[in-house]
A and B are shown apart, each in its own frame.
Chain A
């Protein structure tokens, strides 16, 4: 496991807690979980930032209703919306333009997002990671003092296979795992019955397998996709929905896990 560039750990004294939201697999709802988790944390009065670390496929501009490239001469970054400070590559590049970068450029962009922007004082910074275990993950685990990670999976085995890789990566780089969340867990039909469309119990099984907390289940609701596409996440648009309640519970569990966690010790240095 090699670095894209050699760089010491960033010092971010104004950010109290940094949480990475990850999964091995794409399409499991990481960005939706990140946005709603950030808003749920902010709903309890916390100052929260949300950083989209998916350089190649940023979703946050759409989900947060921020369209078009931002003119940095008039609008400072990170942007403020819904009480969050938000940064995404999507604010710098038009949605139709592909970012065709090798790893070192990704590394540079992510470190600049963190070190060159004025995030102010934050209680929590939620980082939405891209899928996989590549450059973005490596840069963030090597240079950012991450307090913990949340692993998102859907219930079926095909998602869990890749989630395991994500867990193994965090174990290897010694970033504490706050827990696993099962997204798209079940669907409540108009008949009031519960349907487990993508099977059920994968998240809990994975949590047991790795002896990490199971943070809960987020049900499927078409309103999640509608809210995301409208740029108003479900926690704000339908706060009374079952999904929003699940996100509020998730935020509580994350805060509780962070409270029980002993911060990782810094490695001793050797003066030569």
Chain B
């Protein structure tokens, strides 16, 4: 049952300092993702919609936008994703394992993204 061998899987998740998440993947890859980067790429419908809008040069920052984003919890969703609850109260983003890997900011992944 090849299709049921869901290949990509995290062996462990660790915090690195106050600003990043380290993921040890089962293929040996060690991923790193900044919390700010994750919050900025929240996959929920509201955040996607916000990102799709043209930038507003007169955008007035809300107090919650001045706080460095940090998670208050990471909750596994089924066997395929994590829900991140943020310190600004936002909690509707479900990050699939594939999306966490795609958002990886390690040097190797950044280099791959810049060459493609």
Which positions in A face B, CB cutoff 8 Å?
1-3, 6, 8-9, 141-143, 171-177, 210-213, 257, 260-261, 264-270, 272
Contacts and interface: CB of A to CB of B under 8 A. Distances in A.
Nearest to A270: B13
A166 to B, nearest CB: 13
Nearest to B26: A265
Contacts of A174: 6, 78-80
Interface in B4-53: 4, 6, 9-15, 21, 44-45
A171 B45 contact: no
Given A2-B94, A212-B1, A267-B10, A272 B15 contact: yes
| B contact patch SS | strand
Contacts, number: 79
Contact of B73 (A173, A264, A272): A272
Nearest to B24: A268
Q: Is the interface of A mostly helix, strand, loop or mixed?
A: loop
Contacts of A2: 44-45, 92, 94
B92 to A, nearest CB: 6
Interface of B: 1-4, 6, 9-15, 21, 44-45, 71-83, 91-92, 94, 96
A9 B77 CA distance: 7
A141 B81 CA distance: 11
Given A176-B4, A267-B10, 10 more contacts: A2-B92, A2-B94, A6-B83, A143-B78, A176-B1, A177-B3, A211-B2, A212-B3, A261-B4, A268-B11
A171 B2 CA distance: 11
A267 B94 CA distance: 14
Contacts of A9: 76, 78
Given A9-B78, A212-B4, A261-B4, A272 B72 contact: yes
B3 A269 contact: no
A260 B4 CA distance: 12
13 contacts: A2-B44, A2-B94, A142-B77, A174-B6, A176-B1, A211-B1, A261-B1, A266-B76, A266-B79, A267-B76, A268-B12, A269-B13, A272-B73
